[in-house]
Structures are given as structure tokens and as C-alpha cells.
């Protein structure tokens, strides 16, 4: 996307230029991942899935997946040339704006950090990719299903395997217990809205200044009033 298109979308969506460009690259990366040999073994989840599949107004900065199915897990997570980490590193040669890719295996996850710099942006930004290696039962059409991703930032559409709302909600509830990220609270509220459940938003123990700054950064101005009312 060129500067004029990015600026037009930034004004329309009432969000920063960086978030518009990041979302374009998130979709490009999702296309690469789900059209690769690895796609059938992954379920897309988390905040970016909420935005791109379930129309959340909150912009997100990570691509989160769960590794599923019975297959050569060791080959997937190895450091060999056909591994997922090697696949991520090859993306640096696919898109000129990708200036670096860090990819490694951690204890519970496969981690990638993709750094991107467009000429018209003052600073580079990063997209984090995480694949959970935790084993669990994922049943097609019960826990996840095929969905098409669409966004105003690109004409591309991508067919992905995405977690059902109830599974994303479970993980958000776990996240809220283990960390204090304001975005988790917003996502928890949003999922319950979709499920037609009323919940009370609570930010006890959260730094109000940090919470307000983070959610204002990730949401259009039309949602700022709601955030501010929660923090009163």
C-alpha cells in the first residue's frame, strides 16, 4: 500500500498509520502461513483473530496459533531447512519491507519476530508470531472452523482455520489470571458481547494511565469514550 492509501485508511478508521500498515502485513503473513505446508496444522487464535475474523474494533500486533493434529511435530519445530522457523526466516526474502526475522523454539512455543520498515513510516514496527506447542484436543467444527479473513486495508482474502469464540474466551480468561494486559480485558468484554452475555468490566489493580494509553492506541477514537467510562 502506498502512503496516500495508508493515510486515507488511517483517517477513515481513526487509527494510526502504523496500525493500518501492520494490519496489511498481518494479512500477508497469514496468507503465506495458511497457504504453506504448515497451514493445515495450525489454528489461528487471539486478539488478531478476533479483529480479522470476528470484526473486533481493537487492532492487534501479534499472530497467535495453536499446533494441532497428529503429524511430524518434531520436523515442524526443528531447526532444519524444512521447519517452521526456517519458513519464517525465508519471508525476509519474499517482501522487501521485511528487514529482519528472528525465529526460535521456546519451551512452550515457537516464536518469531518479524521487523518491517516501509519508506513512508518514520520507524520500523514488529509483528510477533507465536505457535503454542501445548497439546490439547481440537475438534474441527467444534473448537475451530474454516473462515475467510477480510480487511479494508487490503483486497486480499485468506482462508484460515480459526478458533471458535468459546475457545478464544477460555484462553482470554486464563490470560487475565496470569498477566495484567488491558487488551485482554477489552477482548473478554467484546467476546461476551458477541455471545450475548453481559459482563462487568473491571480494571482493579491496573494502572489507569497505562490502560488508557494502550487501549486508545489500539482502538479508534469512537471507542475512547467507552474506555474512559470504564476507568472512571
39-98: pLDDT as tens digits? 999 999 999 999 999 999 999 999 999 988 655 555 555 555 668 888 888 898 999 999
Asked if the model's pLDDT at residue 2 lies above 70, the reply is yes
Give the DSSP H/E element, type plus range, for residue 87: helix 84-90
168 touches 145 (CB < 8 A): no
112/85 Cα distance (integer angstroms): 7
Enclosing H/E stretch for 98: strand 98-105
- d(C-alpha 43, C-alpha 228), whole Å: 34
pTM: 0.92
Check residue 75 and give its pLDDT. 58
Q: Is the pLDDT of residue 107 over 90?
A: no
What is the C-alpha separation between 8 and 17, in angstroms, rounded?
9
What does the pLDDT average to over 121-130? 96
State residue 89's pLDDT score. 86
The answer to whether residue 100 scores a pLDDT higher than 90 is yes
| pLDDT beyond 90 at 182 | yes
User: Over pLDDT 90: what percentage of the chain?
Assistant: 80
Q: How far apart are the first and last CA of the chain?
A: 39
Cell, residue 190: 467484546
Spell out the domains of the chain, with CATH numbers in brackets.
3-163 (3.10.450.620), 165-232 (no CATH)
Report how far residue 29's alpha carbon sits from residue 35's, in angstroms, rounded to the nearest whole number: 10
Residue count of the chain: 232
46: left (phi over 0), alpha (psi -120 to 50) or beta: left
- Which stretch of DSSP H or E encloses residue 145? strand 144-151
Asked if 200 and 34 count as a contact pair (C-beta separation under 8 A), the reply is: no
> What would the pLDDT profile of 128-178 be if each residue is shown by its tens digit?
999 998 878 899 999 999 999 999 999 999 999 999 999 999 999 999 999
Q: Is the pLDDT of residue 8 over 60?
A: yes
Amino acid at each position: 500500500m502506498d502512503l496516500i492509501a495508508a493515510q486515507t485508511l488511517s483517517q477513515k478508521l481513526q487509527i494510526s498509520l502504523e496500525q493500518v500498515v501492520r494490519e496489511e502485513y498481518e494479512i500477508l503473513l497469514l496468507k503465506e502461513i495458511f497457504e504453506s505446508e504448515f497451514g493445515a496444522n495450525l489454528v489461528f487464535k487471539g486478539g488478531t483473530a478476533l479483529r480479522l475474523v470476528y470484526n473486533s474494533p481493537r487492532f492487534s500486533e501479534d499472530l497467535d496459533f495453536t499446533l494441532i493434529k497428529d503429524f511430524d511435530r518434531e520436523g515442524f519445530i526443528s531447526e532444519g531447512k524444512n521447519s517452521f522457523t526456517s519458513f519464517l526466516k525465508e519471508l525476509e526474502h519474499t517482501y522487501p519491507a521485511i528487514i529482519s526475522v528472528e525465529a526460535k523454539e521456546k519451551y512452550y512455543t515457537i516464536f518469531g519476530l518479524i521487523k518491517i520498515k516501509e519508506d513512508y513510516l518514520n520507524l520500523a514496527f514488529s509483528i510477533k508470531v507465536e505457535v503454542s506447542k501445548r497439546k490439547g484436543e481440537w475438534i474441527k467444527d467444534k473448537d475451530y472452523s474454516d473462515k475467510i479473513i477480510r480487511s479494508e486495508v487490503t483486497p486480499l482474502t485468506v482462508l484460515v482455520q480459526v478458533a471458535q469464540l468459546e475457545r478464544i474466551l477460555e484462553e482470554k480468561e486464563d490470560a487475565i489470571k496470569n498477566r495484567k494486559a488491558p487488551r485482554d480485558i477489552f477482548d473478554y468484554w467484546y467476546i461476551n458481547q458477541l455471545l450475548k452475555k453481559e459482563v462487568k468490566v473491571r480494571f482493579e489493580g491496573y494502572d489507569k494511565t497505562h490502560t488508557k494509553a494502550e487501549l486508545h492506541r489500539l482502538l479508534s477514537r469512537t471507542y475512547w469514550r467507552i474506555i474512559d467510562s470504564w476507568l472512571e
